[in-house]
Amino acid sequence: MKNLLQYAKQLSPNCREATWFYSRSLDGAVPLSARLGTRIHLLLCKRCRRYSRQTLFLRAACRRIQNSRPPKPHFAMPAEMRSSLQARLRQEMEKM
């Protein structure tokens, strides 16, 4: 068992390489040996597992945002109110 663990560690890239390979594997082809090494690394490294979960979460969130339509406003601001508000904001920004 100890030899198997040592062999797995030899196949595993370091954290920086593993996260780089992991990110690249989501976007495109990564050589099989790198994918295998990264998988082994993720089994052994808690921090990189967390990184991979966070990366998947962010990726899914970005896709949801990208695919969602902006919500329809419940009301339309009258044009006069809009221009008045814009003018007021400009005045405030000029003070800064």
Chain residues in the site for Zn ion (CB under 5 A): 15, 45, 48
For residue 41, give every residue at least 6 positions away whose Cβ sits within 8 Å of its Cβ, in sequence order, or none: 12, 13, 15, 18, 48
C-beta of 14 vs 84, nearer to Zn ion: 14
38 CB neighbour count, 10 Å cutoff: 25
Q: Looking up tokens 């090494």, which residue turns up?
A: 37
Q: Whole-number minimum distance, CB 29 to Zn ion, in Å? A: 22
C-beta of 15 vs 87, nearer to Zn ion: 15
C-beta of 30 vs 48, nearer to Zn ion: 48
